[in-house]
């Protein structure tokens, strides 16, 4: 996956200022990452065997395929930027 330049002024249009946009993006990327981890663990849970030691664990081709598919998914940061640019992210300040 190649790196693509990001126009910061376009991001700035979706928030009060660039710093606020970066905080929103980082929080959204963390959410996406957590969702991906949960989904991956749920799919791999079916292949988990309870052995006495880790040396007994064998590689399962289906487990490897699932892991490779997850590696090919867009990175959480990239997905967060897409969500912000497409106005799929809403945010608000905590009320004190």
12-55: pLDDT as tens digits: 899 889 999 999 999 999 999 999 999 999 988 887 665 545 55
Check whether 4 has a pLDDT greater than 70: yes
Residue 20 has a pLDDT of 92
Q: In terms of C-beta density within 10 A (0-12 exposed, 13-18 middle, 19 or more buried), how is residue 21 classed?
A: buried
Does the pTM surpass 0.85? The reply is no
Element (H, E) at 55: none
Residue 52 has a pLDDT of 47
Distance CA 8, CA 36 (A): 26
DSSP letter assigned to residue 74: P
Residue 60 has a pLDDT of 80
Cβ–Cβ under 8 Å, residues 76 and 30: yes
User: Where are the chain's structural domains?
Assistant: 8-48+59-85
Instruction: Give the number of residues written for the chain.
Output: 96
């Amino acid at each position: 996956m190649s790196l693509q330049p990001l126009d910061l002024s376009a991001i700035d249009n979706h928030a009060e200022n660039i710093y606020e946009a970066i905080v929103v993006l980082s929080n959204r990327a963390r959410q996406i990452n957590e969702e991906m981890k949960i989904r991956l663990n749920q799919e791999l849970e079916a292949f988990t065997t309870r052995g006495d030691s880790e040396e007994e664990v064998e590689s399962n081709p289906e487990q490897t395929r699932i892991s490779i598919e997850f590696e090919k998914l867009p990175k959480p940061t990239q997905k967060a930027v897409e969500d912000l640019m497409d106005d799929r992210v809403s945010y608000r300040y905590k009320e004190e």
